[in-house]
Amino acid sequence: QSAAVDRLPEALHATFGFNAFRGVQEQVVRRVLGGASTLAVMPTGAGKSLTYQLPAVLLPGTCVVISPLIALMHDQLRSAEANGIRAAALTSADLDREQTIDRFRAGELDLLYVAPERASQPHFRDLLGRAPLSLFAIDEAHCVSEWGHDFRPDYRLLRPLFDEFPEVPRLALTATADAHTRADILTQLGIPGEGLIVAGFDRPNIRYVIQPRDQPVRQLSRLMADHPGPGIVYAQTRAQVERLAETLSGGGRTVLPYHAGLAPEVRAANQAAFVASEDMVMVATIAFGMGIDKPDVRFVAHAGLPKSIEAYYQETGRAGRDGDPAIAVMLWGADDFARARQRLGELEPDRQPGERQRLDALASLVETAGCRRAILLRHFGETPPERCGNCDNCLEAPGVVDATDTARKLLSA
Ligand code: ADP
Ligand code: MG
C-alpha cells in the first residue's frame, strides 16, 4: 500500500491521463489506500468516480461498487473500461453473469458494480466471502438516509453486509447532503466521524443569473445566440419540453427534446447526439442529466422554478465541468410559486414543514438583491464572501464594471 501511495501521480496519469488531482480527490484516495473508511461529499462533476476507481486499480482484489441505477452503472462501466480498468456489472440485464462471477472470484476484476437490491441478497454475501476484496464503494450514498432526498430502503441492508467484512474499508460518495444527512450516512454505513471529507461547493466558473420570465422564448433565444456551445434547457412538463424544443429549433442549431415519455431508443439517440455535439441544445425535463458526462456544456437554463436549491445546484452543476466559463439562467414566474404553494397544501401534513422550508429557501435565492452564490454556498454550510462578482446581482451592483456583454444583455432582456 505504501508503494501504491508513492506512485500516486504516475498511477493517476497512467490510468486516466490526468496530470493532477482535483480538490479533495487526493485526500480521499490516500485515506482509502490507507485502509480508512471515508464519506466524501463532493459536488456533481467534482470527480467522485476517480476516488474509488484509482484505489481499485492500485489495490489487490476487487472494489465492489454499490450503485442505485442500472443506467448509471453502465455509464460508469463504459468509462472505466475505456480507461483500461477491468470492470463488470452484476445485474439481471447482463447476460455474462457466470463469466463475471468467475472473474470476480479469480481476482481478475478491479471493479464490480452491483445494485443494492442484489448486494443485500444472501447469495451475494456468500460470493463476497469467496472473492478477494479491496474496497466497498457506495455511490449516491445519501440514498441510505431518510433525511436525504432519495431514500432507498435497500441501502439500509448494506451495513450488516459490510460488517461481515470488517477488514474491507468503505468509501461512501454523495454530492448532496446537508449536515443532518451527512451524520446519518456515517451512522447508517458505519463510517467514523473523522472519515468525513467535504469538498468546496463553489463552482466559480458558473455565472448565476435569475430573472423574471417575461418573454421566455426571446430570453432563451438570446441566451442561445450568445452561447454557441452545448446547452441544456430544463422545462417542467413533457408538453413544455416538446413545445420549447419546437420553438427554439432552427437557426442552424440542433435542438432536441428529452423526457421520460419518449421511446427509449429516441431518448438514447438524442442523448448520444448531445454528448457528441459541440453546439446542440437539449430541451429536457429533469429526467435528463444524471450520469451524463459532458464536460463542455456552456449553459443550463431553467424555463421555470426548479424543485429546490439542491435540485438547482445539481442541475446547474452540469454546466462548465471543464472549468471554462459557463452560465446558468433561471427564468421564474409568480405562477411557479403559486403552483408550488398549491402542491405544498396537497401534501400529507407531516411532510409540509420540510417542503415549506425548501420552498422558502428557493424563494430567498430568487428574491435576493444580494449575491446568489453566497446564498447557495451558505445553504451547503460554507461561509462565502459577501459578493462573488460572477452572478447577476454582483455584476449589476454599483461599482462593478467588468460585466460582460452577455450578462448585460441578459439582464436587460
Ligand atoms: P461526479 O461523480 O463527482 O459527478 P465524475 O466522477 O463523473 O464526477 O467526474 C466528472 C468529470 O471530471 C469526468 O469527466 C472526469 O473524467 C473528470 N475528472 C475527474 N477527475 C479529474 C482530474 N483529476 N482531472 C481532470 N478531469 C477529471
Ligand atoms: Mg458520480
Cβ–Cβ under 8 Å, residues 88 and 112: yes
Task: State the closest ligand 1 atom to the C-alpha of 42, by its place in the atom list counted from 1.
Answer: 3
Q: How many residues does the chain have?
A: 413
H helix runs in 209-351, sequence order: 216-226, 238-248, 264-276, 309-316, 334-346
Q: Ligand 2 centre from 247 Cα, in Å?
A: 33
Model confidence at 174: pLDDT above 60: yes
Please give the angle made by the CA atoms of 209, 210 and 215, to the nearest 5 degrees: 110
Q: Give the count of alpha carbons within 13 A of 273, CB side only.
A: 18
Q: Which ligand is nearest to the CA of 54?
A: 1
Mean pLDDT of the region 132-140: 97
Give yes or no for residue 405 having a pLDDT over 80: no
Q: What value does the mean pLDDT take over residues 7-15?
A: 91
Cβ pair 176, 313 in contact under 8 A: yes
Ligand 2 centre distance from Cα of residue 63 (Å): 16
Average predicted confidence (pLDDT) for the chain? 91
Based on its alpha-carbon atoms, the radius of gyration of the chain, rounded to whole angstroms, reads 22
Q: Is residue 55 in contact with ligand 1, taking CB distance under 6 Å?
A: no
Name the residue of 8, 10, 16 whose CB sits within 8 Å of the most ligand 1 atoms, as the mutation to test its pocket: 16
> Which of 10, 12, 19, 22 is the pocket-test mutation for ligand 1 (most atoms within 8 Å of CB)?
22
Find out whether the beta carbon of 375 lies less than 6 Å from any atom of ligand 1.
no
Kindly report the backbone phi and psi dihedral angles of residue 71, in degrees, each rounded to the nearest multiple of 5, phi listed first.
Answer: -60, -45
Name the pTM for this structure: 0.67
pLDDT of 218 over the 60 cut = yes
The confidence score (pLDDT) of residue 400 equals 47
Q: What is the pLDDT of residues 13-43, one digit of tens each?
A: 999 999 889 889 999 999 999 999 999 999 8
User: Which of 293, 310, 291 lies closest to 365 in space, CA to CA?
Assistant: 310
Tens digit of pLDDT for each residue in 290-333?
777 798 999 999 999 999 998 899 899 999 988 899 999 999 99
